[in-house]
Structure 1
Amino acid sequence: MDPEKEKERKRLIALTSLNLLNTPKEERFEIITRLASKIFAVPVAGISLVDAQKVWFKSIQGLDHLTEDRSTSFSNAVVLKEEMVIIEDTLQNEEFKSNPYVTDGPKIRFFAGVPIRASDLSVVGSLFLADRLPRKFSDLEVSTLKDLSTWVDVEFLRSSLTYQISLEQKKIQEELVSKNRELAEEKAMDDAMLANIGDGVVGINDRGEIIFTNQQVEYMTGLKQDELIGKPIWYSIKMFDKDDKEVSVNERPIRNALFLKKKIESTNYFFVRRDGSKFPVSITATPVIVFDRVIGGVDVFRDITKEKEIDRMKTEFISLASHQLRTPLSAMKWFCEILLDRDAGDLNKEQEELLTNIYQSNERMIQLVNTLLNISRIESGRIIIDPKPTDLRKLLDEVILEVRPRFDKKKQHLAISIHKNLPLVNIDPRLIRHVYMNLLTNAIKYTPDGGEIVIIISVKNGEVVSQVSDSGYGIPRRQHEQVFKKFFRAENVIKIETEGTGLGLYLTKAIVESSGGRIWFESDEGKGTTFWFAVPLSGSVQKEGEVTIDI
């Protein structure tokens, strides 16, 4: 584009941004032109705005017209030259002596105009003086006119800013209306979703005060929304654990979710209805985090009475089926042992191999049946917990002795560190032995040949903490939440190790928690896994059940 045309284009944009073209008179400009007329003793003083075709007079003294053609305007010369223009006698000036404003009409003989600039310094018009007589214009008058033009510049800048602010306000207002409409639509959708979702939903602020609930909360608990809003969730919706003990504020899943800044799921709690009756719930407590600050949380819960009943029926069925399977499996084992011991006659090599495969498969079936029976006994609350003062060092040594051949076969290195003054702990050694056995056999199974396994037993914060670390395949992070679920096996080890039921860790967790302890882990795929389980130094609580677990 031609540089002059581009310059003119930008000048006209700056002029438009003032929002002064073809607008009514304003006293702030009238004051300036009246003052100019008096100071310089001239009949004509004005403020002009020069657009593409016309010159507009924002204020003018001594003339009654509001516009003129740009091509014949004195102000156009100021704009084109971008500097002060002084013509002391127009009849002696070659450019203007034939101008219609000189020869006709006002018959201007003297003109002085100073540029008026927009905020980008484009010349958009002039502050000018005119007289019907020729006159000299002194240096002092030049300086005074320039000073007055600064005043006009300031007023123009103010107009520009005011116009820009009004545009921004209009834009913000439009955006606000649009956002409010979007929010209203989203709220309507959210309200409809909350109203129709089958789960109870309770939202709280960072102080634990309830800020919203949905209809299902009232349906499940009998507590109305207006009874709950603004009140602490800890005291408004009562919660009990599986041992029928009221859950304290610090033990509630939503409290821990806010504190730990992570989602917590649980199916081990009961809510209380208005009439005092309890029902089991599946809870998902999620913190709401904005810029790394917890601003509240959401409790989503579901009545799992039917699921619990189905689980109970499944447990009973599994228990019954497992009992029924034990007899024929035990008989098969006995018959295989008789045949392999050649008590029924000699075997050739092929017969021996077939019987060995049958025997090994039968052993795996017996192990699976025992595991299923153990799970059903724990889930039904029939397990006996018989705590005794136990030397965990000695108990661990017994387990290591049993699994030592597996270590040696894979040439794995075992490192052990046990608290120097480890006290006797009142636990059920049969149960805790199973926990050590499961964690160690898993570590051996999922650690490659030549890898390292570390066992540490320490005393911390009133607990005896046992740690089993391996340098194996690790567990994919996306599957961490499933580790303690029934039948779970990590996708990366299924391809490598085909054997396994996915019940070992589920049973281990159930045993630890039944013993009054807790279990957790950390794992990175390709780097290994560490499991910890902790039991209180004070020991486990004795439980008068019906059966023990089968190891």
Structure 2
Amino acid sequence: MPRTRKLSRLLVLSHVSLAVLLCALLLATGAGTLRSVLRERAQAQVTQAGADALARLEDFRRDIAVVAVLLSERPTLRNYLQRGQARAAADFLETFRQTGRVDYLLAMREDGVFAQVGQAPPQTDRSGLVVDGKGVYWLVQVQPIARMEQSRVVAARRLGPQELAGHGSRGDRVSLLGEGFASTAADTDDARALLASYQHVKSTGIGETLPPDSRGDVARLDPIRGPQGDIEALLMVSLSREAVARDGVRWLTAFAIGSLVLAIIAASVAFWLARRIARPFGQVARAAERLGVGDLESPVVVPETDLVEPVALARSLDSMRLQLRAATERERAHRQELDAILDGVEDGIIAVDADRRIQYANRQFLALVGRDEADVIGQPYESVLTPEPNEHRPGQAADPVGDARRHGLAQASGRYLLRGRLRNLVIRSSAPPGGRQVAIVREETSAEAARAMRDSILANLSHEFQTPLAAQIASVEMLREHVHAGGDATSIKLVDSQYRGALRLSQLVDNLLDSVRLESGEMRLRREVVDLPALVRDAVDLMRPLTDQRDQHVMASLPHSERRLIGDAQRLSQVAINLLANANKFAPDQSTIWIELVWGEETVSLWVEDEGQGLPPLRHRADLFAPFRRSPDQEPSQRGTGLGLAIVRALVEQHGGEVVLAEPRHRRGARFGVVLPLEPA
């Protein structure tokens, strides 16, 4: 038996598991998406960093241009240049350099450098970007001095990577690539890819984002244009793999924290829902347990909840409790009534279970066996009703209880040992409809004893007659063939008469045996497909010696059909023979016997009609099918046993059919019909 679990725990576990599973599915399915997003984010970051660096470079260019213009327009500088006060001019330039946040200032006259301060850039003759021998880039601005020909000032600012990257950089690396980059590039796959991108941007003037290199770094190249629009250098902004990974770790950390919060919320909601759902179901479950142990008096309390299901379940359980209590009371009253009825029956009645142990016995049975109820209930059936050894009458069931379970109905008459002496009992039982089987036990009456003796004598005589009669018929058939070959008319007539007598005697013996079997309930039918036209033709051929004896003509109409008839071919053949024998017996000599088959949708009918004296009046027709009943006023000299039509009706009814009487269609006489059900199409 599987281990049971509480509903509340299952609800909490299911909610938390679903939340964790959802997070795991999101993480698993989003791993590739996360990588793509991080890569796109890195590319967008370097693109934005490149745009910011270019904007800062333009700001630097404007600032240094403003410094140069302001310096060139200062009258103080012109006075120093005109008077030749180089020392004063240098001090003035130093003060201006510090306030203008430039790295180098130069004042020149037509005769050369007049004054300069700060570290000099490699070139001072033109404006734009220049690079020194150490790879350091300078932003140089040359501005003529107003009203002084051949005089100019030069302002220069050194560009460091940190200045271009800005203070808000998140790991971006900014560098400038000039004309010497192509000659200094290393011979690696990453360097060759960078050189190809460098040349492409240099030639097209369009910025380009590079795919991640072997280390996972992401970079972008943007052209830097001079005052005349020419490309002075390329700006490269790169983002290391570690910076990208840090973004991924931050995203995963946020996802983990969110998942944890989601799991905590799910657990809290699940716990709240579990208590809200499980508590009313627990109350209903405890009420169901009380019902299960038979407590039909305690009402099922409807739980205080707004959930529809437990309320409906509690009300249904309480309604079921009330119905069970009412049914129990009715069953108790019915049991008392049934016990009173069974105690009032003259016969003894017992009920046995599947192990053949007696579970119930009425008062008459206890008086019959002379025991108390405590000595009978629970005892094996054979220990209470012990038959006399080797006592079994022909036509009776040796074990009525066992035979009834196998065949549906059984009866036994015999001597049983009760209270130390043998007594004649009749036991009748039917198949159990459920777990119990009922048997009726009573003492055998004198009429039943006489009938049992009659059946026993008939069964013994019929059985003893069968074997010699079969040998007699075989001998007569051989003699008949021999005499017919000789052609002696007298001998032929005598042997045919002997053959007809043997056939009639065989039919009589069969009828006697079948009557005993039918009355005792031992007649068993086989279920097989029956070719009814062929079966009737064989019956006509078998009866031909008897019909030929009386010069009777048989008119047969036996059409075939695709419909199927299921039954016992041997017993149905006996039905046809008995009907033909009845017509042969009651029809006059030189008359006609009609036999025909009529196929319907659900039934098939076999009709036999003769030209005899017809059927008796209506008040006497019921006796036609009673066993051992004969009509001495109408029956001819060939007297029978009175079993033929009784056996016909019994066999037909066992096949689920019926025997009908109808008015003759051809001439005056009797018309018998047998209606049998067909298999559904």
Q: Same fold (TM over 0.5)?
A: no
More helix per residue: 2
TM-score, scaled to structure 1: 0.37
Q: Which has the larger radius of gyration?
A: 2
TM-score, scaled to structure 2: 0.31
